Amino acid sequence: MAISLKAGAAIAFAIALVPASGAAYFVHRDLTAPARDYSPTGHTFGSPSEGDYRYALLIKLTRQYVKTHPDASAAMRNGEALAPMAFLNEELEATGVKWRVREIHGTVADTFDVA
């Protein structure tokens, strides 16, 4: 049984369209996810984690430190280091959050909850 050229083209088009529509769904989901602009890791699987929130706040405070301290290091200015721990903890306390920084290594901070 032979298939006409028109029917064969329609089948080929349908076979190509199904995977493309699936890929379009995932691309659209990733582009519209609320966590994309917020997460430092760029993940898009739901809401930002507590770690993402803390990291974003520390980056914001470091930028504030750089703007107000002309002696800030080049690493801080380039986004390769966080502000000094004392400054971050003072600002965190002033904002009323219930956590502080225990240790800093570049842009990685070890945080802990306070009572």
The domain tally of the chain equals: 1
CA-CA distance, 44 to 36, in Å (whole number)?
Answer: 6
Place of tokens 């240790």: 103
pLDDT in tens, 2-33: 777 777 777 776 676 666 655 555 555 555 54
pLDDT of residue 8: 73
What tokens were used for 69? 């301290």
Where does the pLDDT of residue 37 fall: very low under 50, low under 70, confident under 90, or very high at 90 and above? very low
* Owning domain of residue 67: 50-113
**Are the beta carbons of 99 and 84 closer than 8 angstroms?**
no
Higher pLDDT, 37 or 113: 113
Residue 21 within any structural domain of the chain: no
